[in-house]
Copies of this chain bind each other. A is one copy, B any other.
Amino acid sequence: MLQPERHSKILALLSQVGRVYAAELSVQLGVSEDTVRRDLKLLDEQKQLRRVHGGALPLQHENQEYRERHEEVDPLKQRVALAAIPLIKEGQTILIDSGSTCLQLAMNLPTDFNFTVVTPSPLVATQLIHHNNIELIMLGGKVFKPAVMALGATTNAMIRKIHFDSCFLGVCALHPSQGLSIGHIDEAETLASIIEQSEQVITLASYLKLGKMSTHKICSARKIDYLVTDSNSDPKLLSLFAEQGIDIKICADR
């Protein structure tokens, strides 16, 4: 294995697990501890990580980073989420996906009528614990950490037993011809199951997500009923979506 390969592998591991040990790296990379130390020393000098006795740590501690990221509310996402709320009707059973936009949706759900929320996200569930008008159903299964949601066979099986009036998806890539797509295959499958069980598919996406595509396809654009986005979106792109039967909702500007 070449030096730059090792370096990127070390950095990948670091961001994945938050710490690396020199001794372990030596085994994992198949080189001597000396080489690992030289690598770590180099990466430290390049400010790519923080060298400490016994191994190395990321520059900013992951937890803090996440907390900050989590506490700061993106106003754009919040506006998109707010614009989607009128689509919820009394007595419905809706699914709310994981992701920051959907979390915003969860934080702003109506309190003046009753409905049921199903979610694969522990964060969304936690947010809804104290809404007395909401019947909350958690989807079970292995929690996929990067997306903070339950997914996989168990989750899919549970989804297939539920019929949703609508599902609210915080998409990460929506393309006119390629449809909805996402970076992880299991995530794609679980989202596809959800869509299969939903009367209406409602996607929440800021202009940054439109016209993009990712690795694993979830469904074609035709399956989508609503797209809630913002006024920065390209009108041509939006008309392409409209041609495929998607009802477009633009959120307020401020």
Interface residues of A (CB under 8 A from B): 1-5, 8, 12, 16-19, 21, 50, 52-55, 57, 61-63, 66, 122-123, 125-126, 129-130, 132-133, 135-143, 145, 148, 150, 154-155, 158, 161
Contacts of A19 in B (CB 8 A): 1-2, 5
- From B2, B17, B61, A8 is in contact (CB under 8 Å) with B61
Residue pair A130, B3 in contact (C-beta under 8 Å)? no
CB <8 Å contact, B2 and A130: no
Q: Is the interface of A mostly helix, strand, loop or mixed?
A: mixed
Number of copies: 2
User: Do residues B132 and A141 form an inter-chain contact, with CB atoms below 8 A?
Assistant: no
Closest to A21 in B: B2
Q: Which of A53, A140, A141 has the most CB of B within 10 A?
A: A140
| A21 contact set on B, CB distance < 8 A | 2
| Cβ contact within 8 Å between A125 and B143 | yes
Residues of B within 8 A of A66 (CB): 130
A155's partner among B18, B125, B140, B143 (CB-CB below 8 A) is: B140
B129 adjacent to A126 (CB under 8 Å):
no
CB neighbours (8 Å) of A63 from chain B are 12, 130
Provide the residues of chain B in CB contact with A138, threshold 8 Å: 122, 138-141, 143, 150
